[in-house]
Amino acid sequence: MTTSAKNSGNQGNAGEEKLLGAAVRALASRKAERPVVLDLRGHDAFTEYFVICHGTSDRQVKSLADAVEDQVREEAGRKPSTEGYARGEWILLDYGEVVVHLFLEDAREFYRLEALWGDCPEIDVATLGA
């Protein structure tokens, strides 16, 4: 099920929507592959949203991470806790209520986060990147 952030059950706050929009725009600008936003609200989760995508090389994955970090800092004034940057296989940017997962394609297929959280609604990224 795909919904918009504004129409996905519980209303997200403006800060979350600003952060999600900044992340999605940054990923689009760097040609992220198959971006997905999952709404984890209402589940026993440690965060409100997952943003998941992949790149075609470790260099691109690092570039995606840099772009998200820069765009979110510029638009939302937030800096993440970061894991996995040195290897570039799976980079995690943790903003608290939003966690961005940036993978190499093989790692994304191996960990299958979308399947693991498959009962969570997917937010249409087109509604966030405008």
Which tens digit of pLDDT belongs to each residue from 48-106? Answer: 999 999 999 999 999 999 999 999 999 999 999 999 999 999 999 999 999 999 999 99
Which tens digit of pLDDT belongs to each residue from 15-34? Answer: 888 999 999 999 999 999 99
Domains, the chain, ordered by start: 2-127 (3.30.460.10)
| Least reliable range by pLDDT among 3-17, 31-45, 94-108 | 3-17
Global pTM reads 0.88
**What does the alpha-carbon distance between residue 23 and residue 19 come to, in Å, rounded to a whole number?**
6
User: Under a CB-based contact definition with an 8 Å cutoff, are residues 81 and 100 in contact?
Assistant: no
pLDDT of residue 51: 97
The strand pairing partners of 62, in sequence order, are none
